[in-house]
A = this chain, B = another copy of it.
Amino acid sequence: MNSFDKISVGGEARTELHDLLNLTGAEISVNVLPAGAGVPFVHSHRQNEEIYFVTEGEGKAVIDGEQTDLKAGDWLRVSPSAKRQLSAAPDNALKYICIQVKANSLEGYTMSDAVV
């Protein structure tokens, strides 16, 4: 494998990065939900923690029946077993990234994993 891979992602409805970047520790999707649209199903995960980052726009998430508003700059962690569904605001698109990682997989990080 190369030391690195790089791609540029524009405004596509959905781009999945795992294969494009040769990721081995995460899957990441870059998503645009048009105004008034929602993910058409509720889902949970077997093993994976999901982390959502709202890059533009606004919307909401319903997680285990609890609603939370989403706006640009928000970060959201969702436990694997939680039932989740995202939607854009009626009058504003929701642009977000979703990071999937295996729950409890991280060991050291930052100074305890870095070699300077």
Shortest beta-carbon distance from A9 to chain B in Å: 6
Number of copies: 2
Q: Are A27 and B99 in contact (CB under 8 A)?
A: no
Give the A interface residue count (CB, 8 A). Answer: 66
Residues of A12-57 at the interface with B, using a CB-CB cut-off of 8 Å, are: 16-18, 21-29, 41-49, 51, 53, 55
Chain B residues with CB under 8 Å of A75's CB are: 6-9, 17, 21, 28
Q: Are A106 and B102 in contact (CB under 8 A)?
A: yes
Q: Which of A's residues lie within 8 Å of B, judged by CB? A: 1-10, 16-18, 21-29, 41-49, 51, 53, 55, 61, 63-64, 66, 68, 71, 73-79, 82, 84, 97, 99-110, 113-116
